[in-house]
Amino acid sequence: MRLGLYGGTFDPIHSGHCHLIQQLLERGIVDELVVVPVGNPWMKKTEPQASGHDRLRMVELAVEGLPSDIRARVRASDTEIHRAGETYTIDTVLEIKKARPEADVVLIMGSDAFSSIGKWHRSAELLSLVEVFVVAREGVGFDIDALTISSTMAREKIAAHEDVSNELPESVWSYIQERNLYASK
């Protein structure tokens, strides 16, 4: 059983993320998928704008909106947003492997993230525990016909009061509006 691990800031989760989730399962790349909003990403220069709770809830809402055959094989994980201090992928992988020892863990990442994996905390050990599946970004990796959407772009549009209805799942956009997330300061 191939269990995908898809981590990210998801600040916010957008239609491109949902497209990737569907492609991973529809193409049989993984059998199940765990989507993990990062807690305190030590390699990022800036912290996420939305709280861990809000980012987790947006991931849950996006997953709820997926087709039922896909949704049944995806779960959101709160493991990193509840972990104190800096969060490392190796710790999440070890936790998942302990809970699901029968699963082969497949770490899903974009080619941009993969290019710096040697700098990750305990990267050699991490790479010995997982298979890495690299999704094409800028032509390198597995091509899933990625959508040209980014969380940064969505946040900028939201702050500028521009329409993001094509870039975010409807339930996520409603949640952002209800909580007044990403509004210009």
Q: What is the pLDDT of residues 41-65, one digit of tens each?
A: 666 677 889 999 999 999 999 999 9
Range of the domain at 168: 2-179
> What is the CATH number for 152?
3.40.50.620
| Residue 103 within any structural domain of the chain | yes
What are φ and ψ of residue 106, in 5° steps? -115, 115
Q: What is the DSSP letter of 111?
A: H
Check if the beta carbon of residue 183 is closer than 8 Å to that of residue 43.
no
3-state SS, residue 122: coil
Confidence of residue 174 (pLDDT cuts 50, 70, 90): very high
Whether the per-residue pLDDT at 28 is higher than 60: the answer is yes
Residue 129's H or E segment, with its range, is helix 123-129
pTM for the whole thing?
A: 0.92
- The pLDDT of residue 130: 97
Q: How many distinct structural domains can be found in the chain? A: 1
Q: Does the residue 150 lie in any domain?
A: yes
> Tokens 């998801």 — which residue?
10
**Across the chain, what does the average pLDDT equal?**
92
- Assess if residue 84 is contained within a domain: yes
Work out the number of other CB atoms within 10 angstroms of the CB of residue 134: 18
184 part of a folded domain? no
Q: Note whether residue 185 is domain-resident.
A: no
The pLDDT, as a whole number, for residue 139 is: 62
